[in-house]
Amino acid sequence: MARKTSYGFERREREKAKAAKKAARAAARKEKADRRKAEKAGEVYEPDRADGAGETGAPEDAERLPPQD
């Protein structure tokens, strides 16, 4: 049995994927520009961590929390 088409849903999914890809590109461009500006100023580039994650990608206070079972 064939499924009923849902053109609106499929279109929204394509638009969400396109928006996510566009946002990723914009973030990459911003990081590249920040890196170039820092290099030009003679500074060491350190990316912003708005999510509170360190280099490992884990939250900093994860070390203080007890392990979860």
SS3 content of the chain, % helix, strand, coil (to 5): 55, 5, 40
The pTM of this model reads: 0.54
Interval 7-64: pLDDT, tens: 999 999 999 999 999 999 999 999 999 999 988 888 777 777 665 555 555 555 556 6
The encoded tokens of residue 64 equal 């203080």
State the number of CA atoms in the 13 A half-sphere of 20 facing the CB.
6
- Annotated domain spans of the chain: 7-39
**Contacts with 38 (C-beta within 8 Å, 6 or more apart), sequence order:** 44, 45
More confident residue, 11 or 68: 11
- pLDDT value at residue 3: 82
